[in-house]
Structure 1
Amino acid sequence: MKKVEFSPSLMTMDLDKFKEQISFLNEHADSYHVDIMDGHYVPNITLSPWFIQEIRKISALPISAHLMVTNPAFWVQQLIDIQCEWICMHVEVLDGLAFRLIDQIHDAGLKAGVVLNPETPIDVIFPYIDLVDKVTIMTVDPGFAGQRFIEGALDKIVALRELREQNGYQYIVEMDGSSNRKSFKRIDEANPDIYIIGRSGLFGLDEDIEKAWNTMVSDYEETTGKVLA
């Protein structure tokens, strides 16, 4: 059985306990997910490249930046400058930019990802699907934590895995949105490579990050019948 990877969404962490929570997660998580919102693409403003630099001071885990912005080109270069391992862009704002930005990220020795909203079909990325390193499927509408889980979006994860197997593509498949006890079993059936976990699946389970993590693990194991290594 392949290893299940968990990537905490740091937008939902307790910033009053930043060092404490990161220090614990460094030993348990597989990577970090950092949402960068500009207040235009979504009506919210959250983290930034500066925040990623702060994480770098106390963590060596890979970081994936999720750009929920109207002008990805503005942010891509900033993330290249700080060598963020994964730079993931919403396909809904990539028209006329996709090849240029993917090449720019790859030329810097970094990995390029694309993100699809729940209503966006996967055929939008077919022109450059062979170039991307990661495809993230949103299972909630973007912009805020704690939104309704959109189960139908999981079908795109299944389709992407099938396309990868049939065509030898190299991308990994990630899911983002309401990954928690209520949804773990259905997500597990779709079988993404990476689960992004936020408030409902991790940080909101307990004020103590170790207890919250252990509860998350128990929730996953009990609902899926699988034991995490």
Structure 2
Amino acid sequence: MKKVEFSPSLMTMDLDKFKEQITFLNDHVDSYHIDIMDGHYVPNITLSPWFIEEVRKISSLPMSAHLMVTDPSFWVNQLVDLKCEWICMHAEVLDGLAFRLIDQIHDAGLKAGIVLNPETPIETIFPYIELVDKITIMTVDPGFAGQRFIESTLDKIVALRELREEKGYKYVIEMDGSSNRKSFKKIDAAGPDIYIVGRSGLFGLDDSIETSWGIMKKDYEETTGKALV
């Protein structure tokens, strides 16, 4: 059975305990999820490429930038310069840009991801799906932490797994939004490769990141019947 990966959303971490939390998580997670919001595509403004540089001072894990922005070209240029391992762009703003930006990311030796909002069908990305390294399914509306889990979005994860097997595509499938004890079993049944965990699933469980991780691990194992290694 393929190992499920966990990628903490650092937008929801306790920045007062930045070094402590990253140092602990370095030994337990597979990558870090960096939300970059421009205040236009979504109302909030959060992390930036600068934050990736700060994390890299104390971590060698891959980083995945989630661009919630109206001008993906501007941000892709910066992230390519930083050699951010995964650069993930919303399909909803890629009309006329997708092939060029995916090629730019690949030419830099990096991986290109596509993100789909809850309302966006997977057919939207069929013209370039064979080029994509990762597809992220939003299980909440983008831009805010702590939202209601939208269960119907899991159907897209199932469909993407079936399509990958049928066509031989190479993308990994990631879910993003309200991944926690209440939803772990449903998410597990859909079968994504990567879980994004944020405030409700990890950082908000306890003041101690070590205790929070223990609670999350127990929640996942008890609800899915699978060991988290």
Which bracket does the TM-score occupy, shorter chain normalised? over 0.9
Which residue is equivalent to 1:159? Answer: 159
Confirm or deny that 1:130 pairs with 2:130: yes
Q: Which amino acid aligns with 2:166?
A: Q
Say which SS state the counterpart of residue 59 (structure 1) adopts: coil
- The residue aligned with 2:222 is 222
**Which residue does 1:82 correspond to in 2?**
82
Q: Secondary structure at the match of 2:175?
A: strand
Deviation track 1:86-127 (CA, whole Å, cap 9, x = no partner) reads: 000000000000000000000000000000000000000000
* SS of the residue 1:6 aligns to: strand
5 Å-filtered alignment, 1:1-229, equals 1-229=1-229
SS of the equivalent of 2:130 reads coil
Partner Cα distance (2:53, 2:152) in 1:
36
CA-CA distance at 1:151 after TM superposition: 0.3
Q: Encode CA deviations 1:31-68: one digit per residue, 9 max, x unaligned.
A: 00000000000000000000000001100000000000
Cα offset for 1:226? 1.0
Which whole-Å CA distance do the structure 1 matches of 2:62 and 2:228 have between them? Answer: 20
Q: Distance in 1 between matches of 2:49 and 2:107?
A: 19
C-alpha distance in structure 2 between counterparts of 1:125 and 1:70, whole Å: 18
Give the Cα–Cα distance (whole angstroms) in 1 for the partners of residues 177 and 86 of structure 2. Answer: 18
Give deviations 1:193-218, integer Å, cap 9, x for gaps: 00000000000000100000010000
Letter in 2 for 1:88: C
Unaligned runs of 5+ in 1: none
State the AA in 1 paired with 2:27: E
2:64 maps to a residue whose letter is S
Structure-2 separation of matches of 1:137 and 1:4? 16
Identity rate, percent: 82
Structure 2 letter corresponding to 1:53: E
Question: Partners of 2:144 and 2:207 in 1: how far apart?
Answer: 20
Secondary structure of residue in 2 paired with 1:130: helix
Alpha-carbon distance, 1:70 to partner: 0.2
Q: Measure the CA separation in 2 of the matches of 1:20 and 1:151.
A: 34
CA distance in 2, matches of 1:170, 1:221: 28
**Once the 2 structures are TM-superposed, how far is the Cα of residue 224 of structure 1 from its aligned partner?**
0.7
Shift of 1:174: 0.1
TM-score, length of structure 1 as denominator length: 1.00
CA RMSD of aligned residues (A): 0.4
CA distance in 1, matches of 2:160, 2:51: 31
Q: Which amino acid aligns with 1:164?
A: R
Aligned residues between the structures: 229
